Structure 1
């Protein structure tokens, strides 16, 4: 039986991970749970799964939970996340928090010899070189859970990376895939949050609409599979049935297909290389009339180009990209800036950033914070 801790248990990935575990109680034991602020959801999950440790971000929320729950240790803040990631007795840590908050728990879990099922994009975007080196040094495994990286992970099973010609990451195109620039300028967060294919958290859904999410996935793929950026392509595939493709030197292509359901990737990540049975929706070929493919339009969606630029530059520029995007994404969701102002803010921060080419963890975290400050000032000053 595998012991699992979930960092970000009340978010989209966290709740779906719990659903997978709920369906296979003989395979998994939940030993740690954390949440940002959803007290009642965390309380219910603690009651159902009875972990050894739990954490929530604020002390006030911790006190609310601890007042009702006396037999489980509940901590709070960044230290609480670290405690659950490292000291809950987990074999596997599901890193499902959003943003740079996932960097330190991921690093500490890897240093403690845990395998990390990683759904936190920002960790590999901002600190990919550092994190992957820590995983190698400590004999820990980074297991992808994004559908695209899970597809590559599965298509590479039993194969050699030396035989790989390129990776092809598919993209739905997001909510605005058919809109002109003029139309996008007038669209709101409510419009962007209507993702055509996937059920995801709000931040990732907006990133999908800008194609920054796909840019992040290119950067993740670079670090997860050690493939140069020049050999990682993005292909818009509206139906989201092919989740990614690996092309080999001999011209063969291996694609992983399935209905759009994150639980399939989560379940595989938790139990690979064996596959567990499930009642998840199957892809019915009789219902697949056509599949469409197109190259991404980086003029309409420049955030994808920014991600390639930052990834190839390396150093602290990816952290600056991430910090700027977090701010711009949040302010768009709050209605404080327009959709096209997201890319404008990111471009401004990248231009102002002084890149450190061989950064320490402190350099990376500092670059992220400085990018946040620069983006906030830029927005406050009216862009």
Structure 2
């Protein structure tokens, strides 16, 4: 499928973002659209920034990077921390360089916190303190979440009980700022984006996305995930990047805590939980942030994480989506009128139709 050669009506300063859950086909769509838009891809992924985490993170291959320049990959070794403020600073410098060369920036990735921080800027939070984080390393995540519930109940309510990274950051903020992290965030409130953006959200019915996750898990194991996890641990120890989905289960197997026959299922189950969290974000946040949503009231199919066969199960929420092929998406982008202000527009797309 070759990219269109017709000019597009997007403003040059407008960001294009390809988003969605893990295993939804973001990289494939982003690479195609980058060719259409004369863009370079800026990764927005909290694991892809680490060198050596290739197979387990689903990082784009070298052959894919040769088609379109990719940025914000392989910035640190796994034992070198990179926080949100570091990421935003380096990404903004990278995007400025891309645009100075007359290219467009196309953001692609699944890390919603990094994306929101790029679009809206950061709240004035205290910088991290490694000594605090080291002191909490041996504390179970459930106990840290309970401590957060005591110090900042609102933050604890918003952060999933297993999201250790965000729990630790909220506790750290409470300790260093001497006030709840949620109170500081409320002062920021993501009121006005720094620039306009068009966010393309890839949606799949739950059963089909889970099938893709299962297939990708098998492919990762066949490609050498266990060997990669073992090698990284020998070189860098069990730092935070190696506690992410896929690597965590691989290390449990290497420790003898998981049977080989159960390994693929454990990885797939953890990946499904991650995908569900990601789509919960995309279901709720765009409306809460006041983005313009498409489809609005058009007659379209309703699918999503809980959908099946184009319909949602009783009592479950799905997504109203635009039924575009890749060619139809290009045509829609050409017909679209660029926004006059720095607003954000979100298009929910049927990924299965797009990638057919």
TM-score tier by shorter-chain length is: 0.3 to 0.5
TM-score calculated relative to the size of structure 2: 0.35
> Relative contact order: is structure 1 or structure 2 higher (C-alpha 8 Å, sep ≥ 6)?
2
TM-score calculated relative to the size of structure 1: 0.33
